[in-house]
Amino acid sequence: MLLGLLTAIFLGIGWLLGGIEGMTLGLGVAILTNFIMYFWSDKIVLRMYRAKPLQDAKLNKMIEDLAKKAGVPMPKTYMIELDVPNAFATGRNPKHSAVAVTRGLTNSLTHDEIEGVLAHEISHIKHRDILISTLAATVAGALAWVSHIFWYSTDRNNRNAFTFLLLFVLVPIAATLIRLAITRAREYHADTGGAQLTDPLKLASALEKIGAVAKARPLKKGNPSTAHMFIVNPFNANMLIRLFSTHPPIEERVARLRAMAKK
C-alpha cells in the first residue's frame, strides 16, 4: 500500500504538470525509487546521519544478548555522532537489520536505561516494523525531491498558485500521511516487546530522559522526515506536528510501562 500510494502520487504530479510525458516520467521515477528504497533505504538513512560501525564492545554484547533473547539475528550496529540521546532500528527484515545509537545516548543514560532503549529497538526488528519505517522516511524525502524537480523544471508561465499549492502544501501533507502509516500502535507494541525483554522501568526512565532533552534541545541537524524512526521524535514538535505525530505522548508510554511493572 505504501509503495502503491507513492506511485500514485508520482503519476498524479506528472499528469497534472506534464500530461502523458510527465506521467511516464513520474512512473519511471516511482519504479526506480521503489526499487532503491526496498534494497538500499536502510543504507540511505544511515548515510544521512553519517553513522559509523559501533566499536563499543559492551554495547555490542548487550545488543547481541537482547537479540538472542528475542530470537532474531544479531543486527549490525552503528554510532551516530549527535549529542542528543536517541536510537533507531532500520533494515528490510531481521536478517538485514541495523541498530543505530547516538553518542548522546551512551553519554547521558545509565546502563539500565540504554538496555531498555535497545530492547525497544530489537522489538521493532522482531516485529518487522523496520522496513516500513525506513520506506516511509525515504518516501517522504523522495516526494519533497520530486516536488522541487517538477517546480524548477516547469515553464515559468505554468508556475502558478495552484502548482505551488500542489507541490509545496498538498504533497508534503501526503508525505506526512504516508509517515502516519507507521502508526502509534507500533511504538506501543515495541515498548511492550522491549519491556518483555527487560525491566519495563528501564525503558520508562530512558523515555523520560530522552523526551526531556528533545524538548529542551530539539535536533537541528538531520531530516525531519526520519523523525518517526527514532524512539522519541528528536525534532521540534510544535502543535501541528504533535497533532500528526507517529509517536504516542511520552507520558502515556511511560504510564503503560509503569503499569506493566506493577503486574
- Chain position carrying cell 537479540: 67
Residues 121, 197 within the same domain: yes
Over 70: is that where the pLDDT of 142 sits?
no
Q: Is 141 found in the same domain as 36? A: yes
Q: Taking 80 as the threshold, does the pLDDT of residue 30 lie above it?
A: no
- Same domain, yes or no: 117 and 139: no
Q: Is the pLDDT of residue 52 over 90?
A: yes
Task: Report which of residues 112 and 241 the model is more confident about.
Answer: 112
Range of the domain at 145: 2-45+134-158
Distances (CA, A) of 82 to 107, 219, 227: 11, 9, 14
- Check pLDDT > 60 for residue 74: yes
Residue 250 has pLDDT above 80, yes or no: yes
With a cut of 60, say whether residue 50 has pLDDT above it.
yes
Domain membership of residue 170 (yes or no) is: no
State the pLDDT confidence band at 236, using cuts at 50, 70 and 90. confident
Residues 78-96 pLDDT 10s: 999 999 999 999 988 899 9
Give residue 193's pLDDT band: very low, low, confident or very high (50, 70, 90). Answer: very high
Q: Which domain CATH number covers 200?
A: 3.30.2010.10
Residue 125 has pLDDT above 60, yes or no: yes
Of the ranges 71-80, 159-168, 227-236, which is most confident? Answer: 71-80
Catalytic choice (121, 208, 251, 252): 121
What is the β-pairing status of strands 87-93 and 52-53? unpaired
Same domain, yes or no: 219 and 144: no
- Same-domain pairing of 257 and 139: no
Residue 100 lies in a domain: yes
Comparing 189 with 170, the larger pLDDT belongs to: 189
The reported pLDDT for the residue numbered 251 is: 95
Count CB-CB contacts under 10 A for residue 217: 12
In the residue annotation, 81 being an active-site residue is answered as no
What are the pLDDT digits (tens) for 176-186?
A: 676 666 667 78
Q: Give the pLDDT of residue 156.
A: 64
Which of the listed ranges 117-131, 164-178, 239-253 does the model predict with the highest average pLDDT?
A: 117-131
Region 220-235: mean pLDDT is: 84
Number of domains present in the structure of the chain: 2
Provide the whole-model pTM: 0.76
Write the DSSP string, 88-138. Answer: EEEEEETTEEEEEEEHHHHHHS-HHHHHHHHHHHHHHHHTT-HHHHHHHHH
Query: What mean pLDDT is predicted for residues 62-90?
Result: 97
Q: Over the chain, what is the mean pLDDT? A: 83
pLDDT at 21: 72
Task: Report the percent of the chain where pLDDT is more than 70.
Answer: 73
Q: Tell me the pLDDT tens digit for each residue of 15-29.
A: 776 677 766 776 677
Q: Do the domain assignments include residue 80?
A: yes
Residues 119 and 138 in one domain: no
Per-residue pLDDT reduced to its tens digit, 143-170: 666 676 666 766 666 667 777 777 777 7
Tell me the DSSP string of 163-197: HHHIIIIIHHHHHHHHHTTS-HHHHHHHHHHHHHH
Distance CA(172)–CA(106), nearest Å, equals 34
